[in-house]
Structure formats: structure tokens, C-alpha cells
Amino acid sequence: MVTNGSTNRVASFLQNQPTTLPIGTEFGVRQNDGQIDWVAPNSGAYPLAHISTFQAVVTTAARTYRESDEAIRANLDNARHMRNDCGVMECLEARQRCTSLLDWHIEPEDDKSPEQNALVGDMTKILSEICRFTEYRRVLLEGIWFGKYGIQNRYGWQNIGGKMRVLPTPRHTMEYGWMPINGDKLVFRFDDGNLSDGAFEGQMGIRVGMANYGRGDTIKNRWQVEATERGLAYFLKESEQRLCVVHKHQIEDAAFEDVMTANNLHGVGVRSRIYWEWFQKQSCLAFLMEYLERSAGGIELWHFPAGNNIAKEEVKAAAVNRMGGQRNITLVPIPMGDDARQYGVEIIEPGMAGIECLKEILDKYFGHRIKRYILGQTLTSEADATGLGSGLADLHLGTFLEIIKYDATNLEETLTRQLLRPLQQWNFPRSRHIRLKFKIDTESKDSKARLEAYKTAYEMGCAIKEKDVMDEIGAAMPGPADNVLKKSEPAPMGGMGLPGMPPGMGGNAGEGMPSANEPNMPNSMEADKFGARWRPLFSKPLSDRREADAIARSQPGLSVTQSGSGWQVVCKV
């Protein structure tokens, strides 16, 4: 019901509904400013367009963000060559491998719902059938480097468990049913109020080459292309975007005066962060290689008589033909004199201090700074002294695991929204109201310690879910038709209660509880050998020992004894 002042009226979209509304129907209230409290302000749209928050706009006909990656803006060749740096790729691939090798599972909204648990099982089978699913996840983690990275899927039908399911399906044995999209090929639109019909803010485009550019701004008369600041691009419709999975790394806004980096809104990668550090490292490496080339083998001084051109040419030929240790060769004219050594070779050995200094800068300064940015530390990739009992190695490992957990959490959110939910809706349309989640197992389980904790809690009288224990040991709950292995309970010894049971859960010698195995067991109201009198609570023994134990624990003074083929709860009188 919408209330406006003293006049009440049904909201327009309810006016044609039955006058009797279902029980529990909630109504909004129109405020004095006209806003209804069950509708978000501004119809839920952004208060301000992102592109409007910059000092100026540098745009193209397609209204796309400019490339914001520092490496690409500085030097396209360097942006590619950075992936040839083994030190950089070692760190990047370590993050990718550690994250993609983690186990995964699908989590329901309600783990007690049989419907949702059955759906989880079906969706797990479907995702497990995606060809090279481990590599699928590693490829998406290339977004860590590029800032964004995509996969386009080719969907088809496969028989899974006797039922036809839709999922990424290869056409032949040499493909996977999915294909990577390099992050540098992706472009995104912004909305400055001048978008063409059918275009929308955030619309993703894929760069295409001029070789396939045909008449009428189309590729093969099928794909309509548009111009961007770096060539042509084909922009996907909303339905086509659902065929793709795009993983974005860190998302940030740019400075007011820097519209060229506005595309950081769609992902910033490690490459952009470390480019200038890497560039300085390469410059330093160039100095080192030049020094090694010119001076590492020393300098040879070849003497010849001054003013004697014939001698000069002969000495030069001898120096060139000698090939002595790749040293630099210098011809030195020597004036005539009594002490003059007009012929001869003098070798000046180089100083190694400069080489060691450059090596230290390359390895310890630039190398470690880049490695620490990517991995958070250095000890997971190289050996170093940490000091006995310092715990430094554990601290470094903990830092690395935090980064892996961040990567895994980002990836599971991408896979949940862009892969799991479309597959769920296409295979099980009636389950749209159930929001399953793709989860990556980032917490290692110390099963031994947890089982010990379960045992301790059980012995203290805590109720433990059997399913939790079975999940901990990795076993499935037995079904009604399954053959099960179960330890048989031995009969209790006379006066000692149930073996292995804590006090209060069975009789013991201190209480003088009678045993069915004792000869001449006293009748229900007869005194036993300790002078205690016992009375059974039930006319017939219970067949389930756990039920009897639960009753005995419910109040003091009760004990359990075996009676024939069952269990009897007795009380002291």
C-alpha cells in the first residue's frame, strides 16, 4: 500500500490485482519526496556516469576506454617481452599453479535441503566433465598478469549419468570446447550519453584484424565491427557475453586528471604495476652486459714504434689473429729511447667490484622487489638464512598463502557468476531460485587434530553430527541399501558398566549396578551385594543402546545394564 499524506491507494502495478492479497504481502510507503521505500533511489542506476568523473574525455566512435596498462602505453614490444623474463614468469606461474591445483566444490544455500544437495551433485558432475578444467581455471588466472583475461565457450550436449546436459563441448579430440581470449584483445564501452542503439555501458568487445575486414563494416557479412583507438573491435551482445567468462584482477578508479587510465575500472594486472621497475632492471642489465663485453677479460696494450706504419699494421694483425681471451685490444705507439719497450704486450686485469655491484643491484634490489610484489616474499622460491627458531620461513609462507587465498576467492566469484549459474539455468531452469556457489578449498584440513577434538567432545558428553565425522575422514554416509561395516559392542563386565563409556553413561562398581551376566542377579526390588536396590524403568528392554544411554544421561541416578538381547535403564531406590 502506498501512502501519500492522508490518502491511501494501492500502487499502480497492484491496482489490477485481486483485492484479497496473499498473507505476508509487504507494502511500501511513499515518502514526502515521492520515493517509495521498497524501490532504490534513481531506479537503482548509478548516481553519475563513470566517464563524467574525469577532467576531460578522450574518446573514439565506439566510446571505448583507452588502454591503461603501463607496459602497453610505454612500449608494445616490451609488454610482450616481459613474459620472456624467467624470474617474472616463475613467480606468476607459481601463483597460478598453486591456485588452480586447489580442490573445489559447489556449495548450496541450504545444506539440509535434499533438492539442493541433489542439484549440487548434478552440477558437480557437469563441471567435472569440462575438458581440462584445471587448465581452464589456470587460464583465467592469466588475469593476474594482464589485469583481465577471458575464455569463450562452445556449448553442446553431452550424456552425463544417462541424461543429456549442456556444457562446453569439443567438436573433436584436438580441442577442449573452450578457447582463451588474451586480455589485451578486450575493450569495454563507457556511457557518455552518446551510445548508439543496442550499445550499453560496460559492453565488451574483442579486437579483430584488418585482414578479415569486409564490405559494410562487417567480417564475412556476419560480425558488425566498430573502430577503437587501436583498430577494429566486435562488440558482443548481452546474450553472446553469457558465452564468455572474463576474470578481472584488481579493480580501481583513476585520478581525476588522468582519463587515459580510466580503463583500470576493468582490471589492473601485475604487468602494469611492475613495468617501470622491470624496465630499470633491464637497463641495469644492459650496463652489466656492456661492461662484460668490453672489459671482463681485461685490456691488452700492444706496443709498436711510433711513426712506423708498417710496424703498426703488423702488430694490429698479430693482435687480431691472437684471439686472446676476448679482451679489448689497444694499440699504443712508443717513442724511441734507450728504455723504450717499442714491442710487447701488456695486460691490464679488470676490477671486479663494479661487476659485483651491478649483480647485487640486479638480484637483490630489482629482482627481490619484483618477486616480493608478485609473491609477497622470497623464501618460497629461493633459499636464504632465517636463523634458528626465528619462524621467518613460516611468516613468508603465510604471506604467500594469503595471496593464494585472495586469487582463489576472486576466481571462485568469477566462476560462480559467469560459468556455474548459466550452466545451472540452462540445465535446470526450474532451479533459478537456488543460488549455488563455486567454492575453492583454501583451508587445509588437519584431520587428525580435528578427529581428536571430536573424540574429546564426545567423551565430554557433547552431541556430534555423524555426517561431520564422515566428511572429515572423506567417507560417504551409508544409504539404506548399502552394506556397512560397524564395530560390534561387547557385553559389559559385571559391575563395571559399558567398556569405554565415561562415568554417568553406564553402571560402574562404585554404584554397584547389577549385570545380566552375573549369576543370581537380584530381582528388580531386591538388594544387590552392595546393599543398593535397583528398579527397571521399562517393562521391556530397549533394542538401541544409544537410546538407552541418552535416557540414562538425562537425569542423575540412572544407569544402563544389558538385559537379554536388549538394554535396560535402571534407577537406584
Could you tell me if 304 and 337 lie in one domain? Answer: yes
Q: Please check whether residue 522 lies inside any domain of the structure.
A: yes
The rounded percent of the chain whose pLDDT value lies above 90 is 40
For residues 453 and 197, the answer to whether their CB atoms sit within 8 Å is no
Q: Please check whether residue 529 lies inside any domain of the structure.
A: yes
Alpha carbon dihedral 253, 255, 256, 262, in 10-degree steps, equals: -50
Count the residues in the chain. Answer: 573
Alpha carbon dihedral 422, 426, 429, 432, in 10-degree steps, equals: 0
For residues 562 and 536, the answer to whether their CB atoms sit within 8 Å is no
Q: Please check whether residue 354 lies inside any domain of the structure.
A: no
Which structural domain range is residue 11 located in? 1-45
Average pLDDT over residues 175-183: 95
Q: Please check whether residue 507 lies inside any domain of the structure.
A: yes
Could you tell me if 506 and 562 lie in one domain? Answer: yes
Q: Please check whether residue 25 lies inside any domain of the structure.
A: yes
Q: Please check whether residue 454 lies inside any domain of the structure.
A: yes
Q: Please check whether residue 525 lies inside any domain of the structure.
A: yes
In 75-176, alpha helices (H): 76-81, 86-100, 114-128, 133-140, 143-146
Residue 469 has pLDDT above 80, yes or no: no
For residues 358 and 284, the answer to whether their CB atoms sit within 8 Å is yes
> Residues 513-557: pLDDT tens digits?
444 433 333 444 444 444 456 777 777 788 788 888 878 777 777
What are the cell numbers at 185? 584483445
Q: Which of 349, 382, 409 is the last residue of a domain?
A: 349
Could you tell me if 500 and 570 lie in one domain? Answer: yes
- Per-residue pLDDT, 20: 58
Q: Which of 349, 369, 391 is the last residue of a domain?
A: 349
For the chain, what is the domain count? 4
Could you tell me if 473 and 544 lie in one domain? Answer: no
Q: Which of 477, 499, 523 is the last residue of a domain?
A: 477
Lowest-confidence region among 20-34, 171-185, 231-245: 20-34
Could you tell me if 521 and 449 lie in one domain? Answer: no
Average pLDDT over residues 302-324: 82
Could you tell me if 467 and 533 lie in one domain? Answer: no
Could you tell me if 503 and 564 lie in one domain? Answer: yes
For residues 559 and 507, the answer to whether their CB atoms sit within 8 Å is yes
What are the cell numbers at 317? 694483425
For residues 208 and 219, the answer to whether their CB atoms sit within 8 Å is yes
For residues 232 and 213, the answer to whether their CB atoms sit within 8 Å is yes
- Per the prediction, the chain carries an average pLDDT of 80
Could you tell me if 495 and 572 lie in one domain? Answer: yes
Q: Please check whether residue 132 lies inside any domain of the structure.
A: no
- Between 512 and 209, name the one with better pLDDT: 209
Query: CA 137, CA 173: separation in Å to the nearest integer?
Result: 20
Lowest-confidence region among 119-133, 400-414, 487-501: 487-501
Report which of 374, 306, 311, 315 is spatially closest to residue 345, judged by C-alpha positions.
Answer: 315
What are the cell numbers at 446? 588437519
Could you tell me if 505 and 563 lie in one domain? Answer: yes
Q: Which residues contact 364 (CB under 8 A, 6 or more apart)?
A: none
The rounded percent of the chain whose pLDDT value lies above 70 is 75
Could you tell me if 472 and 504 lie in one domain? Answer: no
> Residues 397-456: pLDDT tens digits?
778 889 999 999 999 999 999 999 999 999 999 999 999 999 999 876 666 677 777 778
Phi, psi of 498, rounded to the nearest 5 degrees: -85, 130
- Between 9 and 194, name the one with better pLDDT: 194
- Between 543 and 499, name the one with better pLDDT: 543
- Per-residue pLDDT, 97: 94
Query: CA 381, CA 137: separation in Å to the nearest integer?
Result: 23
Number of DSSP helices (H) and strands (E) in the chain, helices first: 16, 20
Average pLDDT over residues 361-384: 81
For residues 219 and 205, the answer to whether their CB atoms sit within 8 Å is no
Assign 339 a pLDDT band (cuts: 50, 70, 90).
Answer: low
pTM of the model: 0.69
Could you tell me if 504 and 551 lie in one domain? Answer: yes
Could you tell me if 455 and 497 lie in one domain? Answer: no
